Amino acid sequence: MPEEVVINSEYITLGQLLKEIGVIDTGGMAKWFLSEHEVVVNNELENRRGKKLYPNDQITISTVGTFKIVNGS
Determine which helix (DSSP H) or strand (DSSP E) holds 17, and give its type and residue range. helix 14-20
The backbone region for 13, taken as left when phi is positive above 0, alpha when psi lies in -120 to 50, beta otherwise, is beta
CATH 3.40.50.1860 corresponds to the domain 3-71: no
Torsion angle, CA of 26/27/31/32, rounded to 10 degrees? 0
Mean pLDDT of 52-68: 96
> What is the β-pairing status of strands 65-71 and 44-45?
unpaired
Mean pLDDT of 41-69: 97
Return the pLDDT at 43.
97
**Cβ atoms 3, 65 nearer than 8 A:** yes
Q: Which of 68, 70, 44 is nearest to 58 (CA)?
A: 68
Return the pLDDT at 21.
95
Return the pLDDT at 60.
98
Return the pLDDT at 31.
94
Domain ranges of the chain: 3-71
Does pLDDT of 73 surpass 80? no
6-52 residue pLDDT tens: 999 999 999 999 999 999 999 889 999 999 999 999 999 999 999 99
